[in-house]
Amino acid sequence: MHLSAVIITYNEERNIGRCLDSLRGIADEVVVVDSFSSDNTEAICREKGVRFFQHPFEGYAEQKNRGNDLALHPWILSMDADEALSDTLRTAILRLKSETPRHEAYAVNRLTNYCGQWIRHSGWYPDRKVRLFLNEKARWGGPAVHERLNLNDPRSVGFLPGDLLHYSYYTVEEHYTRAAKYAAMGAQALFAQGKRTYWWNLIFNPVFKFVRNYLLRKGFLDGRAGWTICRIAALETWWKYRELARLERATALSLPSKTPQQ
């Protein structure tokens, strides 16, 4: 079982070294597709011997598919630059490489670190993701913000023990900034699909998001961090529908007015 790790990057100098170190002895090659970073991402990658490529950012799914197309081996381990393999997950992958895989893809649990705290509730854990798969049996697709892996046979998915460690936000301010970015991208995606905003979307959708994550998914057990995470998630939902409403109004104003027929 030969394995290519594929990572997309943009200004990830604080994360990429940790990610690449966790792949040492696991991946038979590492492919990085970078969106022309302006920090030391490229230097760190080249120092660690990865196959480094640059390409303008066209979307998360598009960048990941480009990396998969550049991979030399049949199996892909898809990683984000702010992720790393736990020791248990490394052991599980090594064991799988020594055997004949029984599935076409494998899922893992992702455990997120938020401002120095590991989050085990709030809708963030176990956050199961399919990240190890046969290249010819899968393709990235889906919306602009939350891309998904489309499998030829979704029934052929195994599970690997251990956690994919996700170092998400270092400050709350960074969380707010990224939430605003994701809200704008999400609104654009909904607008492109012809979706519309109604007044209840601005009220009930954010409230439902908060109640689901904080109460039903036990975000309160994550303490102050859980409160912050669930509140920003609800705010991101409100921002998304507010931006969608703005796009609708802007489009309506730009349309030529109809004159009554005589």
**92 with 27, same domain?**
yes
Question: Residue 154 sits in a domain of what CATH number?
Answer: 3.90.550.10
Its domain, for residue 61, covers 3-169
pLDDT band at 253 (very low <50, low <70, confident <90, very high): confident
**142 with 94, same domain?**
yes
**72 with 118, same domain?**
yes
Please answer whether residues 50 and 32 qualify as being in contact, where contact means their C-beta atoms are separated by less than 8 angstroms.
Answer: yes
pLDDT band at 136 (very low <50, low <70, confident <90, very high): very high
**180 with 67, same domain?**
no
**195 with 137, same domain?**
no
Number of domains in the chain: 2
Question: Per-residue pLDDT averaged across 93-116, rounded?
Answer: 96
Residue 201: which region, alpha, beta or left (left: phi > 0; alpha: psi -120 to 50)?
A: alpha
Last residue of a domain, one of 112, 137, 169: 169
The per-residue pLDDT for range 175-232, each reduced to its tens digit, is 999 999 999 999 998 999 899 999 999 999 999 999 999 999 999 999 999 999 999 9
Reported pTM = 0.88
| Torsion from C-alpha of 241, 242, 248, 249, nearest 10 degrees | 160
